[in-house]
Structure 1
Amino acid sequence: MRTLTKTLVTTLAALSLGSAAQAQEVTLKVHHFLPSNSYANTMFIQPWCERIQKESNQRMKCQIYPSMQLGGTPAQLVSQVRNGVVDVIWTLQGYTAGMFPLLEVFELPFMMQDPEATSKAVWDYTQQYALGEFKDMKPLALHVHGDGVFHVIKKPIKSLDDVKGLKLRAPTRLSNKLLSALGATPVAMPVPATSEALAKGVIDGALMPYEVVPSVKLQEMVKFHSETDPAEPAIYTSVFMFAMNKARYEGLPEDLRKVIDRNSGQALSGQIGKTFLAADAEGKKAAAANHFNVIPKAELQRFQAAGQTVTDTWVKDMDGKGHDGKQLLNAARSLITKHSTK
């Protein structure tokens, strides 16, 4: 009888602990660098949080902290999620130069034409080649934005000669190298710093997608928006990561981990890329009173020739780090083609 009673008590205790785990409520601290009214926040991050809350029967929710409200700089977001200061981040890998060298392949000049296909390619490439770069993190999605555009205060960019001598903002190591190759003076800075830099004359313009124009009121600072031929790959794009602290994920009850799993991966990456393309169209509307032009294909060939030096240097850098740079470049291009033809 004593043995039976002890067994019953143990069983009930285990059931009780299991029920408590199933009933656990979780609030994820989500930190990013753009304002709450940015398209990234309203069209992607908030909807994602709403989905996991609904699918978890209200047991898991987000507390979103836009505009670096929890402190630090955009470059510190990766360390914040790795150290468990926050649970989830959204940021550019290029804000932490040198930390994700294998992912840089997608930021090479003229790599991207379709953000949805390229975002899926980034996810697949990372699973095969670059997961080691995500120490203490669980990637939820990896994506790119739409075409990079020249936004300039005083004159449009119609030819390569118009770029020479301009001080232009760019977000990442490779986009800065590209601007140097084009004859401009690159000035590295995150998106939120761009408006003040333009207002103070620190820079003459910026290289960025239309998607972020309204969030930093760029349309009020510049007058000219110069796009590249839409039939050609974009002059540049950036790789973003939506990532979770690995220990936080692994500490969730199994059913909540499954909710996260259902809302992460290749499909989510592609969806975000598609969302950012739609956001570009909305962002362009905010600048409708300004002047627009398209750099024609014939002139763009000069940009492509200059940009090839950036690609060649990256391949050599990867070789020097013990990787096969050409293989990585070909793999990235093949995956983009694979997803573009689906």
Structure 2
Amino acid sequence: MNLLSKIYTTAAMTIALGAPVTLNAQEVTLSFHQFQPDGSILAKNVFTPWIENVEAASDGRIKIEMSSGSAAAGNPAQLIGLAEDGTVDIAMSLTGYTPGRFIRSEVFELPFMMQGTVATSLAFQQLIEEDFQNNEYSTMHVLAGFVHSPGQIHTKDPVTSLDDIAGKDLRAPTRIIGNLLTELGANAVSMPLPLTGKGLSDGTINGTVTPWEQVRTTKGIVENVGHHTEFEGNESFYTATLVVVMNKAKYDAMPDDLKAILDAQSGMALSRLAATELQKGDAAGRALAVETGNPIYTIPTSDIAKWKSATTPVQITWADEAAISGIEGWGLLDYAREVIRETAIDNPS
């Protein structure tokens, strides 16, 4: 028997005996780039188990290689575009890092729209599946959308009322949140999250808005601000939308069974996982502020109406801009709010 015959005979016997065949077991390798560092909640508690779940569910036929933080290609503002053009296969970033492009998604960032991290994330994912995927995300495949936990105010000087925020130079993560801060009389400063600590220490900014969980994750916040302000009640000051998107051509080229596996492990499941872990992370961030000795002020529910009234122009501006793009903004706002409310019934914060 020659060598070729032996190879064929051995392969045939392996199949006949039911032994596992490893040839071509791994069919797809996907690069995944996201801007949060390795030790962050998203990298460690969300994306690592998600990758493990996808690889296990596919019996190893899908492999996802994650690059985090500074190891990711480009900067956070470029990541969605890099997935869109195929430089990377999958990317995660804030939609607001590309201002004005994802207008529908911005509805969830409007002041006091948020009602719990999980409920708002699942509502965002629902609207992606119902509408947004075929519109503003039509050139890519959305694996999941979610929002971060409630945004709070972190400043060098105390903010205990609306009047206190005026004149402050505050980092704003997105266009909508920048509009929100500007409407309240602050000077909104666009700055990448990793540079927040440096901006606070050198005086470029004297405060920032970010969720509690980022106070622990982002170096330099708690050390350089002396005061924190949070909001009482289930309607949060603001949030920001994030998406995990995949290159459309890469997704379309995958075998149908692998697409089904990837989608089943993503979508609502990944949205819920991300929201749950981010919400859990708030406790550690808040505890760090307490341990540091920074006072925490709470805006009571009795004052929320004043804040809502002061930020109404942000909604009006967004609706007007949406109309220019052919979007019925007020209708979308009402629908998004209703979906959040309905989702919050089964997913209380």
* TM-score, with length taken from structure 1: 0.90
Show CA shifts across 1:26-72 (max 9, x none).
33211111211111111111111111122222332222111142432
Comparing 52-61 with 107-116, which one deviates more in the overlay?
52-61
Q: By how many angstroms is 1:259 displaced?
A: 1.9
Matched, 1:304 2:308: yes
Aligned to 1:50: 52
- Distance in 2 between residues matched to 1:20 and 1:192, nearest whole Å: 43
Tell me if structure 1 keeps the 8 A contact 2:115–2:341: no
Matched, 1:336 2:340: yes
- Distance in 1 between residues matched to 2:192 and 2:80, nearest whole Å: 14
After TM superposition, the structure 1 = structure 2 runs for residues 190-205 of structure 1, keeping only pairs within 5 Å, are 190-205=192-207
After TM superposition, the structure 1 = structure 2 runs for residues 261-340 of structure 1, keeping only pairs within 5 Å, are 261-288=263-290, 289=292, 290-340=294-344
Tell me if structure 2 keeps the 8 A contact 1:102–1:129: no
- Distance in 2 between residues matched to 1:91 and 1:68, nearest whole Å: 13
Counterpart of 2:154 (choices 142, 151, 155) is 151
Aligned to 1:220: 223
- Distance in 1 between residues matched to 2:107 and 2:23, nearest whole Å: 42
Comparing 135-144 with 165-174, which one deviates more in the overlay?
135-144
Show CA shifts across 1:211-230 (max 9, x none).
1122222212212111011x
For 1:151, what is the secondary structure of its paired residue?
strand
62 and 24 in structure 1: CA distance in 2 versus 1, 3 angstrom threshold: closer
For 1:341, what is the secondary structure of its paired residue?
helix
Tell me if structure 2 keeps the 8 A contact 1:169–1:194: yes
Aligned to 2:15: none
Computed over aligned residues only, the root mean square deviation of the Cα atoms, in angstroms, reads 2.0
Q: By how many angstroms is 1:241 displaced?
A: 0.2
Aligned to 1:179: 181
Q: By how many angstroms is 1:20 displaced?
A: 9.3
- Distance in 1 between residues matched to 2:27 and 2:186, nearest whole Å: 52
Comparing 261-270 with 31-40, which one deviates more in the overlay?
261-270
After TM superposition, the structure 1 = structure 2 runs for residues 6-45 of structure 1, keeping only pairs within 5 Å, are 23-45=25-47
- Distance in 2 between residues matched to 1:341 and 1:121, nearest whole Å: 12
Q: By how many angstroms is 1:21 displaced?
A: 9.0
Percent identical among aligned pairs is: 37
Q: By how many angstroms is 1:283 displaced?
A: 2.1
Counterpart of 2:144 (choices 141, 145, 149) is 141
Tell me if structure 1 keeps the 8 A contact 2:121–2:272: yes
For 1:113, what is the secondary structure of its paired residue?
coil
232 and 70 in structure 1: CA distance in 2 versus 1, 3 angstrom threshold: closer
- Distance in 1 between residues matched to 2:307 and 2:296, nearest whole Å: 19
Tell me if structure 2 keeps the 8 A contact 1:112–1:118: yes
Show CA shifts across 1:260-300 (max 9, x none).
02111123313321221111112222322222111122333
Q: By how many angstroms is 1:25 displaced?
A: 3.8
Tell me if structure 1 keeps the 8 A contact 2:26–2:60: no
For 1:196, what is the secondary structure of its paired residue?
helix
Tell me if structure 1 keeps the 8 A contact 2:25–2:60: no
Tell me if structure 2 keeps the 8 A contact 1:152–1:225: yes
Tell me if structure 1 keeps the 8 A contact 2:33–2:73: no
250 and 321 in structure 1: CA distance in 2 versus 1, 3 angstrom threshold: closer
Tell me if structure 2 keeps the 8 A contact 1:211–1:284: yes
For 1:133, what is the secondary structure of its paired residue?
coil
- Distance in 2 between residues matched to 1:82 and 1:309, nearest whole Å: 33
Comparing 68-77 with 162-171, which one deviates more in the overlay?
68-77
- Distance in 2 between residues matched to 1:334 and 1:43, nearest whole Å: 30
Instruction: Please list every run of 5 or more consecutive structure 1 residues that lacks an aligned counterpart in the other structure.
Output: 1-11, 13-18
- Distance in 2 between residues matched to 1:137 and 1:21, nearest whole Å: 31
Instruction: Please list every run of 5 or more consecutive structure 2 residues that lacks an aligned counterpart in the other structure.
Output: 1-11, 13-20
Show CA shifts across 1:125-146 (max 9, x none).
1222322211331111101111
For 2:71, what is the secondary structure of its paired residue?
coil
Paired residue total = 324
Aligned to 1:5: none
Aligned to 1:15: none
24 and 47 in structure 1: CA distance in 2 versus 1, 3 angstrom threshold: closer
Comparing 32-41 with 130-139, which one deviates more in the overlay?
130-139
